[in-house]
Each structure stands twice: as C-alpha cells, then as structure tokens.
C-alpha cells in the first residue's frame, strides 16, 4: 500500500508535473477566454456608444447623402453633354419642352386673371 511519502503517490513524481501542466493549461485557457470576452464586450460598448451619438450619425448621413447627390449630378451632367461639353440634342429637346410648359402655365394664369368676372359691391347709403 502506498503512503503519501512514496514516489508513487499523487503529488509526487511524473503525476505531479502532469497535474501542474494541465492546471496551468486550464488557467491559460480561462485567461484567454476572459480576454476574448473583454474584447467582445468592448466592441459591443463601442457599437452602443456609436448608436447613441446622434450628432455624429447625422453628420455621417448628411455626408453620405451629399456624396450620392454629387455623384448623381456628375452622372446627369455627363449624360446631358457631349465630349466637348455642349448640350446633346436630347437635352435641348427636354429643356425646350420644360420651358414651353412653364410658359404655357404663366400665360394661362395671366389669361385667367384677366378674364375672370369681377364682383361689384353695391353700397347702401
């Protein structure tokens, strides 16, 4: 029967180093897991802080919208002009049509204003 003083008992010899190695490996694994959890938590806090920062979100949204509008304007300008920067026939046609429509609305408004019957009021004395 082995006693605590013999080399075959747990805590002595080869078994002691195996136990120490497995314990230190478990501790290292736990520490690595804690560090991963801390990093994940820090990322989550940063994301929540970014969502709560309305001023920055609005500025970002305005900047993105401004960039999109500038890109669309460049695209429309490229489509409406030829290589020399002159308006294409299609653009001239659309511009002329729009001008004719505006002119028609103005003429109609002036004509209606001049041709509507006027109400006259009779004063009692």
Residue 75 counted as domain residue = yes
Structural tokens at position 61? 């949204």
How many structural domains compose the chain? Answer: 1
Q: How far is CA 3 from CA 8, 11, 20, 125, in A?
A: 8, 11, 21, 135
Helices (H) and strands (E) in the chain, counts: 3, 0
Among 30, 27, 48, CA closest to 38: 30
Residue 9 counted as domain residue = no
Domain of 40, in residue numbers: 14-88
Who wins on pLDDT, 125 or 49?
49
Who wins on pLDDT, 18 or 55?
55
Q: Where are the alpha helices (DSSP H) in 54-120?
A: 54-80, 89-115
Per-residue pLDDT of 48-76, as tens digits, reads 998 888 898 999 999 999 999 999 999 98
């Amino acid at each position: 029967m082995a006693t605590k003083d013999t080399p075959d008992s747990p805590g002595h010899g080869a078994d002691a180093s195996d136990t120490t190695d497995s314990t230190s490996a478990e501790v290292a694994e736990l520490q690595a897991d804690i560090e991963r959890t801390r990093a994940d938590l820090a990322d989550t806090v940063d994301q929540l802080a970014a969502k709560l920062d309305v001023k920055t979100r609005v500025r970002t949204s305005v900047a993105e919208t401004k960039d999109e509008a500038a890109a669309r304007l460049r695209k429309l300008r490229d489509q409406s002009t030829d290589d020399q920067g002159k308006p294409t026939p299609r653009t001239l046609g659309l511009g002329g049509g729009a001008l004719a429509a505006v002119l028609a609305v103005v003429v109609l408004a002036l004509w209606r204003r001049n041709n509507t019957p006027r109400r006259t009021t009779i004063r009692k004395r």
